[in-house]
Structure 1
């Protein structure tokens, strides 16, 4: 087949790239400014992510009827090494008025009263606490910061001051997410630029790819911002960080695949437009298939019961969609505008001998040395010669290894992955306390630890029980008898318990506040909630148990339920896409099996690293699900890149030669893409939050494992060993027809030769 130069009309050559570039510049111009505003439509309130049917959600709705506002309590704690003196206590008491004057602290309804409870001294006389209601929850970070500043200026000297409790922890959590908008993006882009610079040894190409990725991210941010502002989705700092990393990584991956095809075509033809057309023919199907697979996998999260997971689905899908569009429109426009200069200073030149797409050396193994063909049959040598023609370096050596001992290669690789998988039994994904979520320095976390030393751990974050008015005394007595509860009282409308006042009644129900012995977000506190939900319905069948501990418990239970619901759905969707793409049943099943094995091995290694290297206290309950969705969807991407090329080559030269050829031609670009994606996800580790640090390691390690081991050795060796059977139910006679036509043969080769 002879390659002929092709070029559109002059006006189209100028107008088409210009229009596409202008459109993406416009998207970047509109989306870029929303980076600074997206935190305005983001929430990190754990309660808002629970389903409406969760008991803690229903209890929270009832709580709002009693307090008449969406207030978050802050616990202000002052501690001393020695018992506090009377003068210090008098000075501490005066802080109540100063804290009440801070903008955002709930104001009293009557001039002579205060909404702040305290000062409350500890039994050891070394600490005092205040319960400060924060009404301006939209500016909680600012309010807590001003509270801390006021206390630092006004509190007695030699006292340690903390603002903790739900409000303090939320403020520090928001601060931890503060690096997402700028620092995270900068680190990710810098990592991508350096990797591309090393791989392609070009100054221009990395910039073109980065522009493509940034344009895709700006367009994604713009759409997500408005969806969140219209309350179509719930955006969290967690989802925001994942979106940025996912778009940069995916857009770069798709771009690299297109760039590889474009560069390969430039070595065969003179015209950059002809090269662009050939690149489109070879790249659009795997890119669209890969992007569609990830989009569908992400949309499976819509079936999650956790609102945080359900919202991440469309957010991630939007990011992948724009990554896909940018790689197929913006990048080609930039490449054709710059032409061969895109690869400066090592610009590709047209190689001689490209009258045919594949150069085939007559004589079978004549082009291979005796050492290379040792132990091979003549048929195998022919496959190797055809498949590895023009392939050099490490990919030629890997191809020879697979051709010589395909079964030994995949068996050894399989055993290693199974061994790594055994570590998954040590994965502790049952959730962690909120004080362990923040990895960096936190005044609120330090305050929670100090609070537990002087007061009941659950001070400021009580268990909330909604009970029928007629059974309030029996329910209160049952709560007080429960192990792990230090005290309980009916809500009377004031900040402190008052046994002489009448309880507030709303729609025939009362609110009971129960103080926990342990921290409200600890595992022991969650067990108290479990016990209350078991015992209290025997007294009042309509009772509801809520609060911080109940929210944490319901979140963990729902997350684990989602895992068993979403995983089979994602696998089914990906399997269907692969069957349609590869026109086969065996190959898709093989790919699904290897990617799942890669995921399990990754989680096994991650569990060992988390427990014995990093010393993490456990893992968030959503980590296994997020790890699965990202690793399986993105892992299949690389197998799609490989197997679509293998199928393309197999139709020309036969399956076994096609496997070697496909591996040799895609090896470099897929490895580069894997390293880029691993580096971008690793950037999440700069955010001092346990969940993101764990997700960063899981995805980065998993992508490298999948790229270096699964896609390089396991999948090619299995495919080579199966031969034409890997394409079942397609007939084996279809494969190698291009070579037969070239050699002038009328009958297909014996399938055993392949």
Structure 2
């Protein structure tokens, strides 16, 4: 080895250390910001809504009234056999203690039920304002005083208690979600790599990427006001570990192959990055572009999910293409022990499951296509069985104190409203608005509340139960009757109506944008119209089937009372972006084989055989990470995680392996129309060296 070669070799050996140093410096800068992400997380329903929504205007104006936003609670005292005089005395004593220790907006008045089993005390305080920590402290203080005594149950409900219980679940997501995700990915990597050391490397790099994403997400919030919610923060972590592990699987598989052909790990890694880097960049770019389409959503929570998800994917990409290669090169071949890929060795040949699957698809492509289409269509019919919109009290997997209070109130006060509707009106029109509200059908009572800054608050109780069809009709009637008066109708039930309406609008706007953007990217990458259309139709079919399976299990099996209004849109965006991600791996290899001169059917089957193992491993990891959400305490997270996990599995083991391959075999060269690969070659192609086979 000459002096020049020695110098070059030393420089190359220094590159991984330089990359490690850069990552240490980046983490040192990002660290203080990453720890602050939880401080800017907000999970109130009104934080999710657009500024134009009526209920958002009500919340904004309430902040300006004396005392600011009101935290409303309901103390529910209950005994099955009927409350005794001693029970009433106990309730009065507890309420007096709560009143003494907390500044309330008005003295609480007990409202007994007709059957005598229940006594409710509405309690409200404006002291917490919009500070969620103060709200939670107030709710917990009330719960500390309102305790069960002598067999009489006491539950604290109301909108404030519901918000506190939801915040408790969201705040608990960080630790359990991260630990469970890490454990699931670790088990899968151990099974895939069968090495006591190798699995630790991509897992540790994914952890670094997650930490980086938290700091970047906090920076986005500070710079652009990006909405940070418990849901978006949790999904970002899932994407970092899921997508990051997928990219690691592809890189490590290619690196293992190159180590058999190249003597030095550094040179082998350079070849591996050149080989699989473009496909990883293209697939991650497609996912990021699909997620960024959520910026067109009007709902703050959905719009914030786009940048958060994109941050997760891009941080995972950067880490897996810089930090992971550096660590692997420094550890050398021994990281693969006991299955060390020795220089000059040949991999052990094993019968490929995907070769067998491809053969069956190749023999009967039309039969496979027809059967798959019928199966996916039948599964999609399950969407007809999806439960209606999720009510606020039904959003918990387990019944917290606030939901128990709502259930007791519903039985003890049938057909009676127990949750106020808030009307905000200009002070000069307060009397006229109050009269108009009382004249509306469905209104049980209406009382004038606080005034300030030119606005007056009117508290309305509907005759219908909270979030029932009757109460919904009352809210819509109030909005219609007060239209043009400068008044706004808000409150918890109105917020849920606005959430549903905004989600419906967002589906009509975002879905076409996602499809158009993904289709354009695929056309540019694959230089075809037919292949991109095939992939897009496939992922739409997967989305419909996954939602249909959800419809078959959410109510009958899981016992869920409703479907999150945002489930359709979010699951569509994630399944389209992630499904197309895997499609790129398959079709990119199919295009390579076609360019090498392979016949269309041969190219399709070779692509499946060579990429099927990696795609299957990646799909399993991604599905498992999203399945972690099904272990969380909120129905909307369980539903989202279930639909995406099922969709990824359908895409990986049915659509990508059988249907896309069968369609490619059946269409032959037409799959690349109108590109040059769609035309019959006029002469035999020049032979070229084939790329090394990628195996899992």
TM-score scaled by structure 2?
A: 0.91
* Rounded Cα–Cα distance in structure 2 between residues aligned with 1:12 and 1:519: 73
Return the match for 1:605 from 540, 545, 549: 549
Q: Does 2:476 align with 1:530? A: yes
Superposed, which structure 2 residues align to 1:242-641 within 5 Å? Answer: 242-350=235-343, 392-428=351-387, 430-455=388-413, 461-467=419-425, 472-473=430-431, 475-491=433-449, 493=450, 504=451, 507=454, 510-537=456-483, 541-641=485-585
For residues 487 and 561 of structure 1, do their structure 2 counterparts lie closer, same or farther at Cα, with a shift above 3 Å needed? Answer: same
Residue 117 of structure 1 is matched in structure 2 by 108
* Rounded Cα–Cα distance in structure 2 between residues aligned with 1:185 and 1:214: 9
For 1:484-508, what per-residue CA distance to the aligned partner results, in whole angstroms no more than 9, with x for missing partners? 32211222x4xxxxxxxxxx4753x
Deviates more, 1:409-418 or 1:159-168: 409-418
Q: Does 2:127 align with 1:132? A: no
* Rounded Cα–Cα distance in structure 1 between residues aligned with 2:381 and 2:149: 55
Superposed, which structure 2 residues align to 1:30-45 within 5 Å? Answer: 37-45=36-44
Q: CA deviation at 1:161?
A: 1.4
For residues 525 and 36 of structure 1, do their structure 2 counterparts lie closer, same or farther at Cα, with a shift above 3 Å needed? Answer: farther
Superposed, which structure 2 residues align to 1:91-110 within 5 Å? Answer: 91-100=90-99, 102=101, 105=102, 107=103
Highest Rg: 1 or 2?
Answer: 1
Residue 692 of structure 2 is matched in structure 1 by none
Q: Is the 2:239–2:313 Cα contact (8 Å) retained in structure 1?
A: yes
Q: CA deviation at 1:414?
A: 2.1
Residue 695 of structure 1 is matched in structure 2 by 640
For residues 245 and 739 of structure 1, do their structure 2 counterparts lie closer, same or farther at Cα, with a shift above 3 Å needed? Answer: farther
* Rounded Cα–Cα distance in structure 2 between residues aligned with 1:737 and 1:257: 35
Q: Is the 1:521–1:549 Cα contact (8 Å) retained in structure 2?
A: yes
* Rounded Cα–Cα distance in structure 1 between residues aligned with 2:144 and 2:335: 53
For residues 242 and 452 of structure 1, do their structure 2 counterparts lie closer, same or farther at Cα, with a shift above 3 Å needed? Answer: same
Q: Does 2:622 align with 1:677? A: yes
* Rounded Cα–Cα distance in structure 1 between residues aligned with 2:414 and 2:378: 45
Residue 240 of structure 1 is matched in structure 2 by 233
Q: Does 2:137 align with 1:151? A: no
* Rounded Cα–Cα distance in structure 1 between residues aligned with 2:342 and 2:571: 42
| 1:464 alignment partner, SS class | strand
Q: Is the 1:293–1:633 Cα contact (8 Å) retained in structure 2?
A: yes
Q: Does 2:668 align with 1:713? A: no
* Rounded Cα–Cα distance in structure 1 between residues aligned with 2:477 and 2:201: 59
TM-score scaled by structure 1?
A: 0.84
* Rounded Cα–Cα distance in structure 2 between residues aligned with 1:198 and 1:70: 53
| 2:460 alignment partner, SS class | strand
For residues 229 and 8 of structure 1, do their structure 2 counterparts lie closer, same or farther at Cα, with a shift above 3 Å needed? Answer: same
Q: CA deviation at 1:708?
A: 0.3
Cα RMSD, aligned residues only: 2.8
* Rounded Cα–Cα distance in structure 2 between residues aligned with 1:352 and 1:94: 83
Deviates more, 1:273-282 or 1:229-238: 229-238
Q: Is the 1:651–1:738 Cα contact (8 Å) retained in structure 2?
A: no
| 1:348 alignment partner, SS class | coil
Q: Is the 1:522–1:549 Cα contact (8 Å) retained in structure 2?
A: no
- Matched residues, number: 680
Q: Is the 1:73–1:460 Cα contact (8 Å) retained in structure 2?
A: no
For residues 569 and 207 of structure 1, do their structure 2 counterparts lie closer, same or farther at Cα, with a shift above 3 Å needed? Answer: same
Deviates more, 1:584-593 or 1:731-740: 731-740
| 2:399 alignment partner, SS class | coil
For 1:316-357, what per-residue CA distance to the aligned partner results, in whole angstroms no more than 9, with x for missing partners? 111111011111111111221223223211112345689xxx
For 1:714-748, what per-residue CA distance to the aligned partner results, in whole angstroms no more than 9, with x for missing partners? 1111112222222222223889899843399xxxx
Residue 58 of structure 1 is matched in structure 2 by 57
Residue 23 of structure 1 is matched in structure 2 by 22
For residues 296 and 672 of structure 1, do their structure 2 counterparts lie closer, same or farther at Cα, with a shift above 3 Å needed? Answer: same
* Rounded Cα–Cα distance in structure 2 between residues aligned with 1:484 and 1:46: 25
Residue 80 of structure 2 is matched in structure 1 by 81
Q: Is the 2:421–2:489 Cα contact (8 Å) retained in structure 1?
A: yes
| 2:486 alignment partner, SS class | coil
Return the match for 1:726 from 656, 671, 675: 671
Q: CA deviation at 1:231?
A: 6.6
Residue 70 of structure 1 is matched in structure 2 by 69
Q: CA deviation at 1:459?
A: 5.7
* Rounded Cα–Cα distance in structure 1 between residues aligned with 2:688 and 2:35: 63
* Rounded Cα–Cα distance in structure 2 between residues aligned with 1:147 and 1:720: 67
Q: CA deviation at 1:454?
A: 3.5
For 1:688-737, what per-residue CA distance to the aligned partner results, in whole angstroms no more than 9, with x for missing partners? 10100001110110000000001101111111222222222222388989
* Rounded Cα–Cα distance in structure 2 between residues aligned with 1:679 and 1:649: 31
Residue 197 of structure 2 is matched in structure 1 by 204
Residue 651 of structure 1 is matched in structure 2 by 595
* Rounded Cα–Cα distance in structure 2 between residues aligned with 1:686 and 1:207: 24
| 1:741 alignment partner, SS class | coil
Residue 155 of structure 2 is matched in structure 1 by 162
| 1:289 alignment partner, SS class | helix
For 1:657-712, what per-residue CA distance to the aligned partner results, in whole angstroms no more than 9, with x for missing partners? 22222111111111000000010000011111010000111011000000000110
For 1:197-237, what per-residue CA distance to the aligned partner results, in whole angstroms no more than 9, with x for missing partners? 11221122211110121111110011112333567212111
Q: CA deviation at 1:83?
A: 4.4
Q: Is the 2:361–2:661 Cα contact (8 Å) retained in structure 1?
A: yes
Q: CA deviation at 1:465?
A: 2.0
| 2:471 alignment partner, SS class | helix
Instruction: Give unmatched runs, 5+ long, in structure 2.
Output: 690-696
Q: CA deviation at 1:248?
A: 0.8
* Rounded Cα–Cα distance in structure 2 between residues aligned with 1:8 and 1:294: 41
* Rounded Cα–Cα distance in structure 2 between residues aligned with 1:235 and 1:135: 25
* Rounded Cα–Cα distance in structure 2 between residues aligned with 1:529 and 1:579: 47
Deviates more, 1:290-299 or 1:735-744: 735-744
* Rounded Cα–Cα distance in structure 2 between residues aligned with 1:717 and 1:695: 30
For 1:136-166, what per-residue CA distance to the aligned partner results, in whole angstroms no more than 9, with x for missing partners? 33313333223212222xx753321112111
Residue 381 of structure 1 is matched in structure 2 by none
| 1:432 alignment partner, SS class | coil
| 1:476 alignment partner, SS class | helix
Q: CA deviation at 1:444?
A: 0.6
| 2:172 alignment partner, SS class | helix
For residues 232 and 117 of structure 1, do their structure 2 counterparts lie closer, same or farther at Cα, with a shift above 3 Å needed? Answer: same
* Rounded Cα–Cα distance in structure 2 between residues aligned with 1:8 and 1:241: 47
* Rounded Cα–Cα distance in structure 1 between residues aligned with 2:95 and 2:555: 44
Q: Is the 1:44–1:237 Cα contact (8 Å) retained in structure 2?
A: yes
Instruction: Give unmatched runs, 5+ long, in structure 1.
Output: 1-5, 109-113, 355-388, 494-503, 745-754
Q: Is the 2:543–2:647 Cα contact (8 Å) retained in structure 1?
A: yes
